[in-house]
Amino acid sequence: MTLIDRYDLKTFEDISSLAEPSLKEFKTTDYIETFLKKHDITSYKRLSTGLFGNIDLKSEKTIAIRADIDALPCGDGSFKHLCGHNLHSTALLTVLRYISEGKIKPKNNLRFIFQPAEEIISGAKMVIEHGGMEGVDEIYALHVDPDTEFGIAGIKDGAVMAGSTHFKISVSGKGTHAAYPHKGNDIVVAISSFILNSQTIVSRKINPIIPSVLSFGMISCGTAANILPDKGEILGTFRYISDDTKKVIIDELEKNLFSIKCNFDIDYTLEISDGTFPVVNDRDLIDKTIKVFQKTGIDFTTDTNLSMGGEDFCFYGNIAPSLFIRLGIKKDGVHPLHNPNFFIPEGTLEKAVNIWKVILENE
């Protein structure tokens, strides 16, 4: 087992203290760059935020590891690592340090990726557009998971994360005095009817054994109690693991909107914004990694749940075989991801570094 020392814990504290939002990870990127130079790692390309680089061992094969670096807002104007990205990035930095010191001896070339803007699903595309996946044969990522027992590596067959799509609906009609609803179109009731009717899309139009979620997150309409507004807006998202499910949801949203157009004599527009498609683990990488974990004594489970959250790691998997590993951090007192009280329990860094060590030395 790798022994994490005070230097590595200080790195974790430093990265945690620099928490910055997506696309503004300037200090974090500066820190990573300084760290690399300190350990004589000079082959890298810096982006506006984030960077990627190589450890060239003259192998015919290149393995990539992605670590995300952005943080989340806390609601008071500050930012904090509420999704474990501080642990992901520190683990990769520690691995690079150990490689430079000869404590980890990879079998293949390593492409290290410190990715910005995962939380707004923009960073992976940036890395790819700047050549971050050129020459990569396999790519791996690790993400902390409060629902998996501490120290257990979760390796799920097939879809690991759902596809994520957002939508915006604009509704317009004729406003009027609330005392004379017959003289206008009641946008509030029309929107309410649409949302209630749409609750049956997943429950009655999708095969119940195929996971999917449809949620409405924001409704905006009206200015006063005695005015029926002439316009309104709805924001929502749906999650899916099959393209057929995605198509059904979009078609049914359109049908329900057309229904309220007829019933309430209003107009509408539906804007679909594709986010991510499902993250699907490669079967060959699953088999290889399980054999490595069995050989080296890494505790793992294949009994992990599909997450309906989105992940832009999916874009890397469209280029090379990919494996998304969950690292369990379930302990008493540990909060869910994105919770304002979320924290990384002691001992997690060592578990993460050991996972990367055995993969790099055995794959």
Match 């340090």 to its residue by tokens: 97
**119 marked ligand binding residue:** yes
**20 marked ligand binding residue:** no
The pTM for the full model equals 0.92
Decide if 349 contacts 151 (C-beta within 8 A).
no
Read off the tokens for 304.
């992990």
CA dist 362 and 292 (Å) reads 7
Instruction: Give the CA angle between residues 53, 59, 61 to the nearest 5°.
Output: 75
Identify the architecture of domain 163-276 in CATH: 2-Layer Sandwich (3.30)
**262 marked ligand binding residue:** no
**85 marked ligand binding residue:** yes
Selecting from 3.20.20.140, 3.40.50.11540, 3.40.630.10, 3.40.50.360, what CATH number does the domain 6-160+278-362 have? 3.40.630.10
CA dist 358 and 363 (Å) reads 8
pLDDT value at residue 1: 57
In angstroms, what CA-CA distances link 57 with 36, 38, 91, 102? 17, 20, 21, 13
Read off the tokens for 108.
């293949």
pLDDT tens-place values along the chain, 363 residues long: 567 999 999 999 999 999 999 999 999 999 999 999 999 999 999 999 999 999 999 999 999 999 999 999 998 889 999 999 999 999 999 999 999 999 999 999 999 999 999 999 999 999 999 999 999 999 999 999 999 999 999 999 999 999 999 999 999 999 999 999 999 999 999 999 999 999 999 999 999 999 999 999 999 999 999 999 999 999 999 999 999 999 999 999 999 999 999 999 999 999 999 899 999 999 999 999 999 999 999 999 999 999 999 999 999 999 999 999 999 999 999 999 999 999 999 999 999 999 999 999 997
One-character DSSP codes across 52-92: EEEE--S-S-EEEEEEE---EE-SSS-EE--SSHHHHHHHH
Q: Give residue limits of the domains in the chain.
A: 6-160+278-362, 163-276
Q: At what angle do helices 348-362 and 6-17 cross, to 10 degrees?
A: 110
**83 marked ligand binding residue:** yes
